[in-house]
Amino acid sequence: MGKRATTSVRREELNRGAWTDHEDKILRDYITTHGEGKWSTLPNQAGLKRCGKSCRLRWKNYLRPGIKRGNISSDEEELIIRLHNLLGNRWSLIAGRLPGRTDNEIKNHWNSNLRKRLPKTQTKQPKRIKHSTNNENNVCVIRTKAIRCSKTLLFSDLSLQKKSSTSPLPLKEQEMDQGGSSLMGDLEFDFDRIHSEFHFPDLMDFDGLDCGNVTSLVSSNEILGELVPAQGNLDLNRPFTSCHHRGDDEDWLRDFTC
């Protein structure tokens, strides 16, 4: 009972702030003499008011020989990005490939500087298991660039081609032809798009498609049906009073005004 009180008093006396130069010297000298290990008893034996974990981290990240001080260079950054691309957030494996750097340092540098710099897609996300085989294959869809070919140069033709094309003039004509053709193609496409947006037969296409929003179709038919005489006759059977009609009209218009 009394001992416990003593222990808690000691914990309150432990230093929690930044390490002083004096503390660093004590830790460095002790480890130089006795070697690493036994972190739980080291503070007492070395005369440090620190917990064992704090001593271990101080040594590992700051004091041990070979630690590289100073900013991470752009070459190191590039290598970190390459390694992260392969290993993800396995910082100790990445640090093992950069002499003098600690895993903590690299992790902080990544989270502070590099992650924002990269596009989001490059950051590794936790992987969702999906049924589709294509996701597992990581195949990108490739957009092909189509070239109109009007000539095929077979091997026997190559030397003839070279001999006949010493003048620069045909080359420029060919270039203009290609450019003009491409431009005309683009213009045609735009015109077709505009045309198809506003031409009435699109409405007829709708009738032929027989697919899409069924509810809307039914609604349209109901509305269109009012124009059909038979439907008109049905309207006569509905109860129709002028007062009711006017009431409806005014209510609706009041809502419209609001």
- Decide if 91 contacts 103 (C-beta within 8 A): yes
By CB neighbour count within 10 A (0-12 exposed, 13-18 middle, 19+ buried), where does 48 fall? buried
Site residues for another protein, 87-116, by CB under 8 A, read 87-88, 90, 93, 96-99
Stretches 21-29, 33-41, 56-64, 215-223: which one binds another protein (CB under 8 A)? Answer: 215-223
Residues near another protein (CB under 8 A), total: 89
Token pair recorded at residue 12: 């309150």
Task: Give first-to-last CA distance, the chain, whole Å.
Answer: 78
45 or 165: whose CB is closer to another protein? 165
Residue 109: closest CA among 60, 76, 68:
76
| Residue 47 in marked binding region | yes
71 or 138: whose CB is closer to another protein? 138
11 or 200: whose CB is closer to another protein? 200
Q: How far is the CB of 204 from another protein (least distance, A)?
A: 9
Helix (H, G, I), strand (E, B) or coil at 209: helix
Binding mask 117-136 for another protein (x = CB under 8 A): -------x--x--xxxxxxx
Site residues for another protein, 45-84, by CB under 8 A, read 73, 75-76, 79, 82-83
Token pair recorded at residue 87: 């290993």
| Residue 217 in marked binding region | no
Stretches 32-40, 42-50, 108-116, 200-208: which one binds another protein (CB under 8 A)? Answer: 200-208
> Which residue of 112, 143, 237, 239 would you call a contact of another protein, by CB under 8 A?
143
Q: How far is the CB of 35 from another protein (least distance, A)?
A: 24
| Residue 52 in marked binding region | yes
The CA distance from 143 to 121, in Å, is: 19
Q: Is 258 in the site for another protein (CB under 8 A)?
A: no
Query: What b/e readout covers 192-229, taking b as 16+ CB neighbours within 10 angstroms?
Result: eeeeeeeeeeeeeeeeeeeeeeeeeeeeeeeeeeeeee
Q: How far is the CB of 219 from another protein (least distance, A)?
A: 7
Taking the CA atoms of 59, 61, 66 and 69 in sequence, report the sign of the dihedral they define: negative
DSSP 182: H
| Residue 50 in marked binding region | yes
AA identity, residue 227: L
4 or 151: whose CB is closer to another protein? 151
The binding site for ATP consists of: 47-54
